[in-house]
Structure 1
């Protein structure tokens, strides 16, 4: 059997988006997901679709992704409950408000428009906010979507275009053969490809290590909660400076909120919300929106996400292995980025360079460039890495 043009490890939003973008360009694609597409971070997250509040390095990628979100129905034949509600980041002190003002100027330089809102105007517009809030920053172009719908929809669309989507197919080893890749599956079968995309989420570092790239990815389990339906009144997606609570309401009335971390067991592939963290989250939610005091909490959950020490993803070409592309470690904020990340991964796999700047996400930032790797390969020379970072 001829090798695929590209193999993808990981069926989260980035991997499934990559499969769709690769098929749009006519490349043969196989996607290998050990569970079901979208069952970990991509399917159990909060569902915020925001540009506001991101690291400056992520803003070009976030803007590109926002444009793709607008075209979601034509891409996957569903809007996946994506709604442009706006996102407001709230200040609970004058210091917080000063931070929002500084960020608004930085965002404007990247073309992201934010409206700074003072205390009186905030009270007039959102009278249901708690008294601890003193101001905010509003991004009208942001919104929310249902994370349980998006990744499966991308997988279906990619399959309809001819992608080979293999669920319940775990990769237990991967090697570079000199002219491509050979992947060993838990079933005993093998898959060959010319290029390989590592979008394995919280297990991305495990795949990278197979090619001598050891990076300090940790796992995290965001603690999520949802209430029963209450009358709809929270239109914008809510966040706060410091990020200790985030809240959104869907039109049917349920209020989704999150705060803190549960427990993650990456070996067992299980994550658990924490009762104590959930209690603290409820207190924070009520302090921010007092009207939620009598809402009934009906479910808590979590999922496993990969987290990098600097909070930025690993996205770009391998520093050791030609044809290998990484996209993992999104540290709890990869959902909105995922659609554009898939496009970038496809460009890297087929063209060797992306249309969006991603230099600050290079895996080389975590590596000792002078050392020999465990698999006997040596990293790409520093000069080449620096050129790639500025491509």
Structure 2
């Protein structure tokens, strides 16, 4: 089943001969970075091999959360929430953003302990997260019956509409003089004098002095063609959109077997960890050592499978030149097959626990491929200083299933690095060189992704 229907973005008709910056990738991070750069007076072209927002930026859960964040991400997420609050006015468009509150139910003493750590971390930033009793948590959702010990509640957590957000940002970017080129894969980066001088796309060349790669799950492949190391794998997750539930809850809830958040169309986005899977590919073996800490802590619930990605990984070319057709042209949009059985179990569990969803039916079911790094935080960084890195080449990728909420601030930080502005937050935790400079690489225990 194809992915969600996106709001349209009309491509510009011709490639510019030259710009200051080329952004590769039209997801939430790439579009937000492009907008920032255009607002600073730079000439920017955004090249997307498929359609703006068509991969994980429109297939995610739509959460904009401060809770359960890795402490290394918290400063960036605090800025992101501030930016989300003013984003609709800035864009002159509706992204569906709302601070609706999220209730994270907790079924064990270990989960309660993890949540207390998360609350304490958030409270350092004056974020009003708190622990609440089981009865108080359930009272927020009349009729809900769950066996829980308590919950973490954060009224500052919210939601937005993934099918609206990246397209709205892209259109605002065009209004500020930027150009958007869909179905236009960048094949290679050109250099002169040891630094970026342009890109070669499938439709021609664009001269530029800087490139930002915001390619999501494709970033490792693009960088690997240049000999630049990025330890990135993919996981797949299934999501349901339900028919409208007029009496459904306003707040978002997370339970061990399902999550539910209200949509602008009156339906609900239903998701959960039980639908996650990881297909074994050649990169699974190449990167096994790098991902061992993640496998121990973060991927315990993932199903390891063999499927389409396995076959594609075995046959896909790993090297190409400017005149060659690339894998980005062979697969315009990653559209994995959803796990419908797991999705049905998830919806059945929700209906059993919460009678208000008894009449809900599946309006749409899709899957998305999530790009993951070993420490489960993104790489927002220059490539200069790493092996085969190029001055003028920057990356914003590896958001590990929780990049939608970070998007506006991630884009600003990337734009700061590209343009030489003072960074919105300390970029050190997100440097690409952390994977090769001897730093200890590990995810934060107890942090929940998505």
Q: TM-score range by the shorter chain?
A: 0.7 to 0.9
Deviations 1:279-318 (A, max 9, x none): 2322443355354244212220122321112211111111
| Matched residue SS, 1:220 | strand
Structure 1 CA distance for aligned equivalents of residues 67 and 352 of structure 2: 22
Shift in Å, 1:252: 4.4
Aligned residue in 2 for 1:261: 276
Structure 2 CA distance for aligned equivalents of residues 193 and 277 of structure 1: 46
Structure 1 CA distance for aligned equivalents of residues 176 and 410 of structure 2: 19
Shift in Å, 1:168: 1.1
Aligned residue in 1 for 2:164: 149
Structure 2 CA distance for aligned equivalents of residues 252 and 26 of structure 1: 37
Structure 2 CA distance for aligned equivalents of residues 331 and 361 of structure 1: 13
Asked if 1:46 is matched to 2:61, the reply is yes
Determine if contact 1:6/1:29 at 8 Å carries over to the other structure.
Answer: yes
Name structure 1 gaps, 5 residues minimum. 370-381, 383-391
Determine if contact 1:130/1:290 at 8 Å carries over to the other structure.
Answer: no
Asked if 1:114 is matched to 2:129, the reply is yes
Asked if 1:346 is matched to 2:402, the reply is no
| Matched residue SS, 2:72 | helix
Determine if contact 2:102/2:155 at 8 Å carries over to the other structure.
Answer: yes
Determine if contact 2:129/2:152 at 8 Å carries over to the other structure.
Answer: yes
Determine if contact 2:19/2:208 at 8 Å carries over to the other structure.
Answer: yes
Shift in Å, 1:2: 6.5
Q: 1:13 to 1:133 in 2, by over 3 A?
A: same
Shift in Å, 1:195: 0.9
Determine if contact 1:232/1:250 at 8 Å carries over to the other structure.
Answer: no
Aligned residue in 1 for 2:43: 28
Determine if contact 1:175/1:210 at 8 Å carries over to the other structure.
Answer: no
Aligned 1:294-313 pairs, distance under 5 A: 294-313=359-378
Aligned residue in 2 for 1:7: 22
Shift in Å, 1:215: 1.8
Aligned residue in 2 for 1:286: 351
Task: Select between 195-204 and 266-275 the one with higher mean Cα deviation.
Answer: 266-275
Equivalent position to 2:196, from 180, 186, 203:
180
Aligned residue in 1 for 2:110: 95
Equivalent position to 2:154, from 136, 139, 143:
139
Q: 1:296 to 1:30 in 2, by over 3 A?
A: same
Equivalent position to 1:362, from 403, 413, 431:
431
Shift in Å, 1:44: 1.6
Equivalent position to 2:261, from 215, 230, 248:
248
Aligned residue in 1 for 2:398: 329
Structure 1 CA distance for aligned equivalents of residues 264 and 40 of structure 2: 37
Structure 2 CA distance for aligned equivalents of residues 29 and 289 of structure 1: 49
Q: 1:356 to 1:176 in 2, by over 3 A?
A: same
| Matched residue SS, 2:253 | strand
Shift in Å, 1:129: 2.5
Asked if 1:200 is matched to 2:215, the reply is yes
Shift in Å, 1:14: 0.7
Determine if contact 1:202/1:305 at 8 Å carries over to the other structure.
Answer: yes
Aligned residue in 1 for 2:32: 17
For normalisation by structure 2, the TM-score amounts to 0.76
Q: 1:174 to 1:329 in 2, by over 3 A?
A: same
Shift in Å, 1:131: 2.4
**How many equivalent pairs are there?**
367
Q: Please report the RMSD computed on the Cα atoms of aligned residues, expressed in angstroms.
A: 2.2
Q: 1:365 to 1:289 in 2, by over 3 A?
A: farther
Determine if contact 1:132/1:288 at 8 Å carries over to the other structure.
Answer: no
